[in-house]
A and B are shown apart, each in its own frame.
Chain A
């Protein structure tokens, strides 16, 4: 066991640090630091433009998507180098929020399934931030039950014609491309009739409509398809093999989301150490100490679990379903942290105005965004099912749709 950098790791860290010290957008540091959870604050500058600018700069110097092969816009870095880079990039990494889905999920899927020609065509521009990608999976009638999706793709000569609707598509309003999962055969059991495509979001018949979220932001969208045409060379994987392809995406999703996931721990620790209560400082109250100790253990546990996963990764193991615990722990922890922080602020806890509320209303932002963490990318319940079935080997749920052709499955409406 050894936590210190090896000589090569130390050299790599030094190289990254050196480049960052000369190139990082330091004028944004302060606003980025005060970003409320789920938001990227770039002060008076347009967040998307700043995000693209930083990504481009990194890309030109070989610091974008560093784990990807060089020919696709990366630098062929190891998993550990990638962790080191993230540590060094620090707060500027917040600028990359717009790219997480593209870089973390779409890119690896395209890399695994697209033709060489399409990889050359799409990946470098995805890496450099010139083009933004989204993930078109969930539908109104199929979120957790993703394989129950209905968006239709029908073959017409060398093309596919898409009709239907996706929902909750994060970033669709900014996106140039997306990976789209469709139903190509409704007469076979649901997992067998799916096919994955690369979709040009600017194609005729694609209609993106932002949805206003519970916290007031509009990060996700409805996306409608009316006779949208996709050429067959933009198919990812076999016809009917879409489920397999989606597993690649979802596995990478767990890694992308699970790694440095926010828990609210540093924020609550800072608050409790400084906040006065009637009987003294908050941190001196036994009930407060007990909660903080618990949260410390959870945050440390996630960090240490991630270190173990990285070690396994660097030895060539593939990340397994055990990585599901990150989001499961972090989501409800953050919700608890936010509630507790507000509870200690008296009536002031209800204020959302960042000018007045404690810490630019950071806990209020967490309160309002954390419910989504427990839903997006697999709900808490689905994650527990995954742990129970795929890690612990418990029997699968009894399913009402087992073996039925898709078009014979009860849908409740």
Chain B
């Protein structure tokens, strides 16, 4: 048994962290947050130059074929620095969907461009403000074109292509749609985390190409979500570690009643609990990374476990980081709210905590029945 990342993977983590430390400071996040840009374009090209988008994409399609463990540590750093780039939509979701289900020509067309970052992809599924169910999907396809509205699509305002879940004659199916062709209109929507672009997209008979087996869309979506959940969880623990560090640093410097506030047990114990939640999540993420990289039989359970505990950890840490900062923590100027926003965005963007708790129990029951 060896339950740790390799030196190579640690190197990728450190290099990514250093690059983001230099190029993704809080001003960069705020530029997008305050509406001066829809994502950090230069940062995105910088990450592309480092080859990070290509990490897990197969070599045959312009990727590095380096596997998922590398992508996990990259995700952790993106989360730690709140990188306002469409990595999750383009790579964890769109590129994954095409890698898993695309035919040869679809892979040849899209993966090399996603790998260099010149094309941005996303996944368009959600149509209502209620929990997503198969019945809630009404965007329709005749097999060649697609019509209807996706209410909220992560990075939908900046993506070039979307993998779209739609209703066809065979039931729910996945389609690839080029968003830059006509018959697509998009409107950016306000969200709790404006440092990430979100848009609603309406298709009016837009050309669409079937991805994978017709009628299999819902179950494909679940598999894509399982795999993406591991990477989202790494972004979450990256963010959680960062806010815990912020809280500890502040608590050592700020004085009240003649002593550092970090010497008050009320705060010490709160931060100890943040640490505990983070450690549990981190260890579960390690296991899920292994399961993802090895396509393990218990990937669904491992992914949901990592996702639930990482969601809990980032939510707790970002919330209590504000508490440690007192009034300063509630200002626009101090970065606490950036993490608070991102933690809630990351919680909801792939289906919320209750959805993943439910998936976890489902997968535990399924593995027991098998």
Contacts and interface: CB of A to CB of B under 8 A. Distances in A.
Interface of A: 1-6, 9, 80, 83, 269, 273, 283, 286, 289-290, 292-294, 296-298, 300-302, 304-305, 307-308, 310-312, 322, 325, 328-329, 381, 383-385, 387-389, 391-398
B280 A1 contact: no
B275 interface: yes
B308 A297 contact: yes
A296 B303 CA distance: 13
Contacts of A312: 4
B259 A398 contact: yes
Main secondary structure of the interface of A (DSSP, over half): helix
Contacts, number: 149
A398 B290 contact: no
Interface string B44-74: 0000000000000000000000000100000
B279 A397 contact: no
Given A1-B293, A305-B283, A388-B271, A294 B308 contact: yes
A385 B279 contact: no
Interface string B261-293: 011010111011101100111011011011001
Contact of B1 (A9, A301, A383): A9
B217 to A, nearest CB: 26
A269 B293 CA distance: 28
B216 interface: no
B345 interface: no
B1 A3 contact: yes
A311 B3 contact: yes
Contacts of B273: 384
A1 B262 contact: no
Main secondary structure of the interface of B (DSSP, over half): helix
Interface string B303-322: 01100110010000000000
A231 B354 CA distance: 63
B36 interface: no
B269 A381 contact: yes
A296 B305 contact: yes
Contact of A384 (B6, B251, B269): B269
9 nearest CB pairs, A to B:
A301-B280, A304-B283, A293-B357, A388-B268, A384-B272, A387-B272, A395-B263, A297-B309, A305-B283
Contact of A398 (B252, B263, B267, B289): B263
A256 B328 CA distance: 43
Interface residues of B, number: 48
B2 interface: yes
Contacts of A83: 1
Given A305-B280, A387-B276, A395-B263, A294 B357 contact: yes
Contacts of A298: 280, 309
Contacts of A325: 275-276, 279-280
A312 B3 CA distance: 9
A322 B357 contact: no
A296 B300 CA distance: 14
Nearest to A383: B272
B1 A80 contact: yes
B43 interface: no
Nearest to B360: A293
B2 A311 contact: yes
A5 B2 CA distance: 9
B314 to A, nearest CB: 13
A101 to B, nearest CB: 25
B111 to A, nearest CB: 25
Given A329-B280, A387-B272, A387-B275, A1 B69 contact: yes
Contact of A2 (B1, B275, B357, B365): B1
A65 to B, nearest CB: 21
Given A384-B269, A392-B272, A395-B262, A1 B284 contact: no
Contacts of A3: 1, 3, 290
Given A1-B290, A297-B308, A304-B287, A329 B276 contact: yes
A9 B1 CA distance: 8
B1 A5 contact: yes
Interface in B215-259: 244, 248, 251-252, 259
27 contacts: A1-B4, A1-B6, A1-B293, A2-B290, A273-B368, A289-B357, A292-B361, A293-B308, A293-B361, A296-B364, A297-B281, A300-B287, A301-B280, A311-B1, A312-B4, A329-B280, A384-B272, A387-B276, A388-B262, A388-B269, A388-B271, A388-B272, A394-B262, A394-B263, A395-B263, A396-B263, A398-B263
